[in-house]
Amino acid sequence: MGRALTIHDLVGVDVAARARDLVTELTTEPWGRVSPSVYETGRIVTLAPWLTGHTERIDYLLAAQRPDGGWGGPEGYALVPTLSATEALLGAALRGDAGLAAAAGRGLSALFGWLHGSPPFTLPDMPAIELIVASLTARLNRHLDELAGSPVPGLDRWRGSARLVPPPGMDGTALDALRSWLASGADVPVKLLHALEVAGDVAAGLSGAALTPIGSVGASPAATAAWLAGTGELDPGHPARRHLESVVRRHGGPVPCGIPVTVFERGWVLSTLARAGIPVDVPEDVLWSLSAASDSGGTPAGPGLPADADTTSVALYALGLLGLPYEPGSLWSYETDAHFCTWQGEQGVSLTVNAHVLDAFGQYTALTPGASPRYAAAVRKVSAWLRDQQQPDGSWTDRWHASPYYATACCVLALDDFGGPAARPAVRRAVDWVLGSQRADGSWGRWSGTAEETAYAMQILLMSTPSPGVAPQVGAAAERGYAFLAEHLDMQHDPPLWHDKDLYSPGAIVRAAVLAAVHAFQRNSLSETQ
């Protein structure tokens, strides 16, 4: 049954005060809080060894290496960061830092073990993964060729003829075609800029990859460094150089995959807090930045990234919750026959994007009785499509997050609010899945119990319409989950679970999710005692 509730449990966490602090940070740290990335840091070690913090980046890579020689998350999430870190350390060893040979050798052992024979994992659906793997595999093989003529103490084992073989479909054919196309002078689609580093030497000074006003390319330190190579890296006044220096100062050396992510962070934080009923006083400039979602084509997560349906819909939904509804017509450009895409030309499909579109359309029609019937039709269409995508066990999974608890929370809350009676069986199945997957310590999680995933599970239980007959089970599970969150409320080291070129954690967004869950528990518990 769990431990008995106490008054301290109910009022010990001042959610409103923490939410105020979080909203204040949206303006004091406008680029957003994103965790460092092994992949991106490895690319900066290789592409910009002259940049401030090089030693700190090397130390970060060494400290992050796993006992098995790899880097990164479980299963297939390890391949990209391990390729990047191994290439960075091996390249540095070849340039004279022989003290890195042991770590580079362990990385090579892990990669050869994974890539030769039958890999013990399936590769996840990550942005540009086929291009990144092909690029890094080729770089590592060139280093192995170099070792044959320039031996490094501690790497004698790798002076033979063995070469890494990339997974099927990542042999470099697509990468070669991309590099040839870029070299021809063709315009570069914005969505390719985020991983411009895969273009190799072609990226340096590429005319079709203009800098943003803050000096970045593709909201990516690695892409910016690749573009800067040979065009001003030694000029401390160059805008791209200044941007990179600013990024490394913010993170103490290591760098994240994506920054800035201003609108992404603000939209998710504010929509999460407002949906949970946490009162927030939002600065005018923050609201103004979200209103760009109403522009034709919507808004990107941050400067240098393409506009997308996900950021656009969450920003519009947040504004609606805050009493400033904008017509979500900017989302029509993402509509397909069956659902909505993240951006035009997307390879794959995202369930959470569609859940967020449902939120935006549903909130707008709820606040605007005279809205075009087209919005109501889209609500029905997206609701039906989401119901059809539910897994047999009651969960949903998605391409932008490693955890099914995030995807399931997005789908459940949208369907519960706007999916009508037809969505109730799907919501009930999701609640049953959450109840059946709680861990012994009260947490939830794909690989281990985390505060982030526990927050999503509790939102599913406490922020959806109660189903008849499950209230006692929901109450007991939520109580155990709250006890776990209370013990981990101030932890800053939840594992990264969000998809970019590498797994990452958006700290403010995760904190908002936890506060929403705590608030929902406190509100439900207080109502039961009255």
Q: Can you tell me the mean pLDDT for 430-451?
A: 97
pLDDT at 3: 46
Q: How far does Cα 133 stand from its chain's mean position?
A: 19
Q: Can you tell me the mean pLDDT for 231-235?
A: 70
φ, ψ of residue 450 in degrees (nearest 5): -130, 155
CA gap 300, 220 in Å, rounded: 14
pLDDT at 169: 86
Q: Where are the alpha helices (DSSP H) in 74-203?
A: 79-94, 101-115, 129-149, 173-183, 190-193
The answer, yes or no, to whether residue 10 has pLDDT greater than 50, is no
Kind and range of the H or E run holding 318: helix 309-321
φ, ψ of residue 38 in degrees (nearest 5): -60, -45
Q: Can you tell me the mean pLDDT for 115-132?
A: 87
Of 39-48, 236-245, 255-264, minimum mean pLDDT range: 236-245
The residues near 377 (Cβ < 8 Å, ≥ 6 apart) are none
pLDDT at 530: 52
Of 233-247, 326-340, 502-516, minimum mean pLDDT range: 233-247
pLDDT at 232: 62
pLDDT band for 527, please (50, 70, 90 cuts): low
Of 112-116, 158-162, 517-521, minimum mean pLDDT range: 158-162
The residues near 3 (Cβ < 8 Å, ≥ 6 apart) are 479, 483
The residues near 307 (Cβ < 8 Å, ≥ 6 apart) are 297, 298, 299, 300, 343
Q: Can you tell me the mean pLDDT for 113-140?
A: 90
Looking from the CA of 430 toward its CB, the CA atoms found within 13 Å total 36
The answer, yes or no, to whether residue 422 has pLDDT greater than 50, is yes
Count the neighbouring beta carbons within 10 Å of the beta carbon of residue 169.
12
Identify the DSSP state of 450.
Answer: B
For 213-231, give the DSSP string: TTS-STT-HHHHHHHHTTT
Looking from the CA of 487 toward its CB, the CA atoms found within 13 Å total 11
Residue 390 · residue 397 · CB < 8 Å? no
Cα angle 468, 474, 477; round to 5 = 165
The answer, yes or no, to whether residue 425 has pLDDT greater than 60, is yes
What residues pair up with 498 in beta bridges, in sequence order?
A: 401, 504
pLDDT at 2: 45
Give me the residue label for tokens 């069956």: 338
CA gap 363, 511 in Å, rounded: 24
On average, the pLDDT of the chain sits at 93
Tens-place pLDDT, residues 327-385 = 999 999 999 999 999 998 888 899 999 999 999 999 999 999 888 999 999 999 999 99
The answer, yes or no, to whether residue 393 has pLDDT greater than 90, is yes
Per CATH, the number for 7-30+259-529 is: 1.50.10.20
Q: Can you tell me the mean pLDDT for 472-476?
A: 94
pLDDT band for 111, please (50, 70, 90 cuts): very high
Percent of the chain at pLDDT > 70 equals 96
Count the neighbouring beta carbons within 10 Å of the beta carbon of residue 370.
5
The answer, yes or no, to whether residue 464 has pLDDT greater than 80, is yes
pLDDT band for 90, please (50, 70, 90 cuts): very high
Region of residue 12 (left: phi > 0; alpha: psi -120 to 50; beta: else)? alpha
Percent of the chain at pLDDT > 90 equals 83
- 273-310 burial, b at 16+ Cβ within 10 Å, e below that, comes to bbbbebebebeeebbebbebbbeebbbbbbbbbbbbbb
Give me the residue label for tokens 């209103």: 291
Which sequence spans correspond to the domains of the chain?
7-30+259-529, 38-192
pLDDT at 5: 41
**Could you give the 3-state DSSP secondary structure of residue 36?**
coil
Q: Can you tell me the mean pLDDT for 237-248?
A: 94
CA gap 356, 413 in Å, rounded: 10
The answer, yes or no, to whether residue 241 has pLDDT greater than 70, is yes
CA gap 201, 197 in Å, rounded: 9
Residue 206 · residue 182 · CB < 8 Å? yes
pLDDT at 7: 36
CA distances 412 to 266, 290, 339, 342, 391, Å, are 22, 24, 17, 19, 13
Residue 72 · residue 80 · CB < 8 Å? yes
pLDDT at 84: 98
pLDDT band for 528, please (50, 70, 90 cuts): low
pLDDT band for 233, please (50, 70, 90 cuts): low
Q: Where are the alpha helices (DSSP H) in 150-275?
A: 173-183, 190-193, 221-228, 239-251, 262-275
Residue 119 · residue 70 · CB < 8 Å? no
Tens-place pLDDT, residues 57-74 = 999 999 999 999 999 999
pLDDT at 494: 85
Residue 43 · residue 84 · CB < 8 Å? yes
